[in-house]
Amino acid sequence: MSQEERALAFGALHRKGDPVVLYNIWDAGSAQCVAEAGAKALATGSWSVAAAHGYGDGQKLPLPLLLETVREIVAATDLPLSVDFEGAYSEDPAQAAANVAQVIDAGGIGINFEDQMVGRGGVHPIDKQAARIRAIREMAERQGIALFINARTDLFLQESDAARHAALMEDAIARAEAYADAGASGFFAPGLADRDLIARLCAASPLPVNVMMKPGAPDIATLAAAGVGRVSYGPFPYREMIARLRGEAEKVYRAS
């Protein structure tokens, strides 16, 4: 498929109540492994890609190194690739769009784009984040790519007390609506794990909702029944893999 065909195919996988499942990868090798396991599409996780290169999360991974990783993954498989692009490495709409253009040039057909103020805490005002989404959408349209902009809100990740998540729903729904109007393709709410709140968000959101699997989250069948359109695994595949690697290495060195 051409890049545009991969972009369209990826978008078509997002169906409310019949979610696309993305077991997040971090390099060409993990991409090939997950592709061979039966994935329909691929998605990186920023935490995992950074850790695999020895960096912390939060745009600490140099942009050129991230783009090289994208090129390597695209060359290794034929599946559509969505790139976790954090805050697009810029708070300025024009520069954010220019940076996303480099992801497209590298072969990516989608991005995660978050509303947290990277490195500073808190989230951007809705209008500021919508302006950045709009700039990215306009750039993608000029390039003729149906870029899947998975607009992420960090409201729930930044509130560790799940009992307070219900109070954030009005803001989350307002963001979903504004981001959709600005040209987003999906709405990502990592950290939200309550089944009823997820169902409420799915019912209200004009965009397919992405939920991140984590310990204690509902299973995929429950999420599908709630109306979720995308399920992703974030950093957990990498963390499980590296924990096994560490455990096996410790056995070797204890015995030596």
- Domain edges within the chain: 3-255
**pLDDT band at residue 33, thresholds of 50, 70 and 90?**
very high
Residue 244: both structure tokens together: 């096994």
Tokens 């077991």 correspond to 23
**Average pLDDT, stretch 95-111?**
98
Cα Rg of the chain, angstroms: 18
Confidence grade of residue 132 (pLDDT, cut at 50, 70, 90) = very high
**114: number of Cβ within 10 Å:** 24
pTM above 0.85, yes or no: yes
Total number of residues shown for the chain: 256
Instruction: Please say whether the beta carbons of 107 and 62 come within 8 A.
Output: no
- Give residue-wise pLDDT tens across range 49-86: 999 999 999 999 999 999 999 999 999 999 999 999 99
Residue 220, amino acid: I
Phi-psi map region of 27: left, alpha, beta (phi>0 left; psi -120 to 50 alpha): beta
Q: State how far the Cα of 197 lies from the Cα of 172, in Å rounded to an integer.
A: 11
Mean pLDDT of the chain: 97
Determine phi and psi for 7, rounding to 5 degrees: -65, -45
Burial grade of 101 (CB within 10 A; 0-12, 13-18, 19 or more): middle
Largest CA distance in the chain: 61
Statement: 3-255 belongs to CATH 3.50.30.30: no
Mean pLDDT of 181-204: 98
